[in-house]
Structure 1
């Protein structure tokens, strides 16, 4: 997976991975609101100024951490899905990504303790991880269109529409399950939704 550039840093830069690992461990232990750059520095075994030179505040550090985490999950699940230039391939990758994100321990911890951190990315603006995932999905759709495996249309619009659907399955799927309809059955509908949406008319 290629690194993601942001304000002079590179998510995926091995020099910063240790610091991000320390921040991840802090958040898993005590949550984001009780995690400080000083504590991240202590866990990483470096000076506080070393951390401050990379991130001016916890918000910017969290942004880099979430980008690394979510894009890393998507890259791994997409690679495992195989050919993601067909409707069924993209659907399989989408479902794997949704499931991996729902089970991701960092995601679960943030939702449990600090869910409001995620609200800006759901209500007001796209984050860098969303932009990166949209870029990947748009390229896959466009490639499938070139081969005729995916219906024609604006690949960017199609990718954004699928992203909205996927976010619902990540954040809200459990609100739509009960004794009659379990998560497995609901997830099966995501496969159908994505593959049908992309299939040639």
Structure 2
């Protein structure tokens, strides 16, 4: 599958700092959000935790919304990259895609930053569900689209527009990431839902 590190285009906020310094600032912002939530996190507090001046942070991001965008992109794409890099190349294209989707959904649902944002500031997620795609979603779609197209070339994945197939998979995954807990009770557990997601994904991709 295509690496997420090579699917971006254009410049993004936060690119003014050196990569190592930028990651340190994002680490500080992540720690702030985990401690006090998004609403109480400021660029001044991020600077204090990073041990730099406020202007150093302002030169990299003009506001917390830009910083959050970069933080979420790093967090989610890093998670997906780790998942993709761990896939067994000897397995079929459909099996790899199913594992990638199911594992990514599980890891996102368990990610401490994602959980903290959803618990305290769920409105931060709504624009990416109701109004527009975010950078991390586009990066994930690029990887999915490439994987689907490669599977089609070998005859392992059904025919169809790979872009549409990838987007449909991502839309389905949204529900399992954000709403799976609402469907868990004494009759159905998380493992049951995960098995159904795997089955639905496999059937959606099979020739």
The two structures have a TM-score, normalised by structure 1, of: 0.95
What is aligned with 1:149? 156
What is aligned with 1:35? 41
Name the SS of the counterpart of 1:150 in structure 2: coil
Name the SS of the counterpart of 2:5 in structure 1: coil
CA contact (8 A) 1:86 1:150 kept: yes
Aligned length: 200
Name the SS of the counterpart of 1:172 in structure 2: helix
Deviations 1:101-149 (A, max 9, x none): 0000000100111011000001110000000000110001111111111
Cα deviation, residue 11, structure 1:
10
Unaligned runs of 5+ in 2: none
Answering whether residue 51 of structure 2 is matched by residue 48 of structure 1, we say no
CA contact (8 A) 1:32 1:114 kept: yes
Answering whether residue 23 of structure 2 is matched by residue 20 of structure 1, we say no
CA contact (8 A) 1:91 1:195 kept: yes
Cα deviation, residue 9, structure 1:
1.6
Answering whether residue 112 of structure 2 is matched by residue 105 of structure 1, we say yes
What is the alpha-carbon distance in structure 1 between the residues aligned to residue 71 and residue 62 of structure 2? 14
What is the alpha-carbon distance in structure 1 between the residues aligned to residue 19 and residue 159 of structure 2? 37
What is aligned with 2:183? 176
What is the alpha-carbon distance in structure 1 between the residues aligned to residue 114 and residue 17 of structure 2? 18
Counterpart among 170, 173, 177 of residue 166 in structure 1: 173
Cα deviation, residue 13, structure 1:
2.6
What is aligned with 2:121? 114
Computed over aligned residues only, the root mean square deviation of the Cα atoms, in angstroms, reads: 1.8
Is the deviation greater in 5-14 or in 27-36? 5-14
Cα deviation, residue 82, structure 1:
2.5
Is the deviation greater in 78-87 or in 92-101? 78-87
What is the alpha-carbon distance in structure 1 between the residues aligned to residue 203 and residue 25 of structure 2? 43
What is the alpha-carbon distance in structure 1 between the residues aligned to residue 161 and residue 63 of structure 2? 38
Is the deviation greater in 87-96 or in 54-63? 87-96
The two structures have a TM-score, normalised by structure 2, of: 0.92
What is the alpha-carbon distance in structure 2 between the residues aligned to residue 102 and residue 61 of structure 1? 22
Q: Higher RCO, 1 or 2 (CA under 8 Å, sep at least 6)?
A: 2
Say if 1:175 and 1:190 are closer, same or farther in 2 by CA, change over 3 A.
same
